[in-house]
Structure formats: C-alpha cells, structure tokens
Amino acid sequence: MKTQTVQTSIYEETIISIIRSLPCDRVSQLVDFAKFLESQSAVNKPDEEETEKKIRVGEEKWSKLFADPKATQMMREMANDAIEDYRTGKTTEIAITEDGRLKPA
C-alpha cells in the first residue's frame, strides 16, 4: 500500500498547489465540486467489477495522459476557455440534489 500512500500524497500536493493559486471565490467552487464528488461516491458505491486493479489501470492511464505536454496545453486552453466563459457570464451555477445529481441552481 506504500504506492497508494505516495500517490495520495501527490494528489494532495497537487490540490493544495491549485488551491493556493486560486482566488477565494474559485476555492469555494472547488470545495463545492469536491463535495459533489464525495456525494457521488456515497451514492455510487463501487460494484464487484470495479476492482482495485481496474482503478490502478485507470490511474496509470490518466497519469500518462497528464504527463504529455500536448495534454497539458490542451487542459490549459480548456481552463482558459472556462475562465473566459465565467467572466462573460456564459456559465450556470449548479446545485446538488438530495440524490447527488447536478441541477441548475
């Protein structure tokens, strides 16, 4: 389980780094999204097919993707597009229903 601890530590450091770079209102949105993800985990308990091996394989694929400079550039462009949409009022506030689904606020 040492690998899992190291991986968790990397995720934590990444999230902390992101939080430190965001303005307060964006940190609040990030916390709301994290709560949404947490609620989804509670609603969608992993079934028997979702084994630790499948999860590990998925994480390895994402790690390889994020290591690719082209993917990094694409994510930056997507983030910039999202920021521009937010600044120009093209975004919609969201809320989480009691059953853990998203809906317009």
pLDDT digits over 10-60, tens only? 888 888 889 899 888 888 888 888 888 887 776 656 665 667 778 888 888
Q: At 26, which amino acid appears?
A: R
89-97 long-range contacts (CB < 8 A, ≥24 apart) are 96/35, 96/36, 96/39
Rounded Cα distance between 18 and 49, Å, is 33
The model carries a pTM of 0.40
pLDDT of residue 2: 53
Please report the pLDDT score of residue 48 as a whole number: 57
Q: Provide the number of structural domains found in the chain.
A: 1
Q: Is the pLDDT of residue 102 over 60?
A: yes
Q: How many residues are given for the chain?
A: 105
Domain with 32 in it: 2-104
